[in-house]
Amino acid sequence: MKRLLVANRGEIAVRILRAARELGIETVAVFSEADQGALHTRIADSCQLLGPAEASESYLSIPKILEACARSNADAVHPGYGFLSENSDFAEAVISTGLHWVGPSPESMRLMGDKVTARQAVEARGVQLPPATEGRSTSELIDSAQQVGFPLLVKAAAGGGGKGMRLLRDPDELETAIEEARRIAESAFGNDTVYLERYLENCRHIEIQILADTHQNILHLGERECSIQRRHQKLVEESPSVALDEDLRDRMGAAAIQVARAANYVGAGTVEFLLDEQGQFYFLEMNTRIQVEHPVTEMITGIDLVGWQVRIARGESLDLVQDEIVPRGHAIECRLYAEDAATGFIPSPGRITVLRTPQGPGVRFDSGILENSDVPMHYDPILAKLIVWGPDRESARQRCLAALSETIILGVSTTTPFLQDVLKHPEFIAGRTTTDFIPNHLTPWIQSSEKDQLLAVAIAAATETWKRSSGTSSPSGEAQSVPSPWDRLGHWRLDEENR
């Protein structure tokens, strides 16, 4: 493997490009017309334009990505997450062209990509599942709903991200919900198959990271708790979970390995479970790709998951055994989205006019953005991920809050103040987090840290004005580090209560 093409954009493309560079592999970035000059295009060794901004004409076009591979003489493809990362047809096309595919086999992807067939394979391995029905027609689903029991979820068999999923408590709404889910699933995944699954209340969302090589070695790297979700999209992840003791951790890890064996899995993958109040866990699904929240595991294990994806794809054997994987400390990740949480998380595309990122021990900021870069309206609005490490959960929480307060992104609305309120909530501090946390505690949400945000904006804006007026911009247009009037305030600060 000499030249790796990353078939993605944003922060995950940046992450993969850096991992490949550390392994001595040349890199190729692809981009749409909306992403010209984006960060991932600047750090790659070479770039290939795919086409217009619409994802269907660029990042979702298999022919255009294969053409980019041919033009750039790439001999490997990494799909990242999202877009084509779980598309078995894409994996098959890459492999049939003679290129290295950094991911599991198309057969494994198909098996686990269909939640119905995945349930069947996992059940055969003795892993516990929530009650569900696999009836295919609408009438069959309605007839079997009482057997599943209410409340229940109408779920799309393909895809993820909560698309085509609906929670139902009223049987009278079932037929309408099934038809609506079918339409959404067909539009999003090209597959209108849906099924019904019992909704388990007051549960935690626990996932287990696994690594599997081509030499029959499979390891689990502990858990991540991903219970802080909004509409089935994760916002805050952490590891380890306060809900797991060593015995439960070992049992969930062993179950995850059984799932991986059921799929003949190779590469990095994630097995997701629901954990109820009685300590019983149930298989939810398997993600056959790198996860957005993978840095949480990297921070507590010291294992480069993306690097190992590439190393496994070129035939290397895992150089660890299970007993050598000993998590250390606690890690928390917050996803920063270009969304306005105060208005129902409406997307906020635009130009980033000021970007200040947090620094310090135990702080990692995985980003795909630059100052004066545009946030397109065409793609997922994730801007960056803030990941922190601490020797224990409370120190990690405090460090995360401090890092969020140092994060300044102007020009677009972000979820930063919402994330601060999540981490400050007494239930989060106590570790009482379930998948209902946000609807139970932060819906509706009213920004409680407005003064701090306005002060951050004022400081950033004044600093930029000072730099421009002082003529301290570099030839590239980037402001140089110079003293600002705010550096000369000494101990004086703006304070609304004590001015």
- How far apart (Å, rounded) are the C-alpha atoms in residues 66 and 74? 9
> Which of 220, 217, 227 lies closest to 274 in space, CA to CA?
227
Longest dimension (CA), the chain: 73
- Annotation says 289 is catalytic: yes
Which candidate in 110, 182, 198, 289 is catalytic? 289
- Tokens 């993958």 found at: 269
3-state secondary structure the chain: CCEEEECCCHHHHHHHHHHHHHCCCEEEEEEEHHHCCCHHHHHCCEEEEEECCCHHHCCCCHHHHHHHHHHHCCCEEECCCCCCCCCHHHHHHHHHCCCEECCCCHHHHHHHHCHHHHHHHHHCCCCCCCCEECCCCHHHHHHHHHHHCCCEEEEECCCCCCCCCEEECCHHHHHHHHHHHHHHHHHHHCCCCEEEEECCCCCEEEEEEEEECCCCCEEEEEEEEEEEEECCEEEEEEECCCCCCHHHHHHHHHHHHHHHHHCCCCEEEEEEEEECCCCCEEEEEEECCCCCCHHHHHHHHCCCHHHHHHHHHCCCCCCCCHHHCCCCCEEEEEEEECEEHHHCCEECCEECCEEECCCCCCEEEEECCCCCCEECCCCCCEEEEEEEEECCHHHHHHHHHHHHHHCEEECCCCCHHHHHHHHHCHHHHCCCCCCCHHHHHCCCCCCCCHHHHHHHHHHHHHHHHHHHHCCCECCCCCECCCCCHHHHCCCCCCCCCCC
Query: What are the C-alpha distances in Å from 249 to residues 137, 222, 262, 327?
Result: 38, 7, 20, 12
Cα-based torsion angle of the residue sequence 290, 189, 14, 263 in order, rounded to the nearest 10 degrees:
20
In DSSP terms, 375 is beta-bridged to 350
Active-site residues, by number, are: 289
